[in-house]
Amino acid sequence: MESYLLLAARCLLAVVFAAAFFGKVRGASRFRQFTASIRTLGVLPEGLARHAAAVIVVGEGATAVLLATPFAPRLGFALAAALLTVFVGVVVRAIRAGVIAECRCFGRKGSVMSTAMLVRNLLLMACALPGALLAPPAPAASPGLAALALLAGLAGAIGFVRYYDVVVRAIMTRNSPAAPV
């Protein structure tokens, strides 16, 4: 069972990091907007924002490749966990400093760095850590269960990439005291 859970987590993270990578490199304007979001955080000197953006994009691409191929999935999980640790730290710093910065996590207009984004990154980290820390599992014995694990990972990734912010906004609007009854 462990191998199928790790396979689902591997698929989920590979798709999420691939979406983040391709979303930022799809066009020069998307990469510039991502770089601008890093500048807005005010963590790095002005000249380093572009370099940091490039390192993040390369890291996201490498993570997706390592997780998607059979060569080094454990390294892919470890790289995902490392990147997510950085992302968690950046979001925590932005929240504490009251910096209003869009994430542009997937290259397009994103949500403002908030507790919801922190939760998303922690949930993704919960998927990455077991793969980075546990011994590599035996190959999946059942092709049918492996296919289900891959489908579950893909569905989870689509949920994080496409619908997470929408669901958070809907919950926040519904729980807001100003929301219509």
In the 3-class helix/strand/coil scheme, how is 103-153 assigned residue by residue?
Answer: CCCCCCCCCECCHHHHHHHHHHHHHHHHHHHCCCCCCCCCHHHHHHHHHHH
Average pLDDT value for residue range 62-80 = 93
Number of C-alpha atoms within 13 angstroms, CB side, residue 157?
23
Q: Is residue 168 part of a domain?
A: yes
pLDDT band for 152, please (50, 70, 90 cuts): very high
Tokens 């820390």, located at residue: 133
CB 12 within 8 A of CB 149: no
DSSP state of 176: S
Q: How many domains would you assign to the chain?
A: 1
pLDDT of residue 181: 45
Other CB atoms within 10 A of residue 22 CB: 16
Q: Is residue 180 part of a domain?
A: no
Residue range(s) defining the domain that contains residue 53: 2-175
Tokens 């809907």, located at residue: 170
| Cα dihedral: 151, 71, 84, 159 (round 10) | -10
pLDDT of residue 27: 87
SS3 for 100?
A: coil
Average pLDDT, the chain: 87
Average pLDDT value for residue range 99-121 = 81
Q: How far apart are the first and last CA of the chain?
A: 45
pLDDT of residue 136: 67
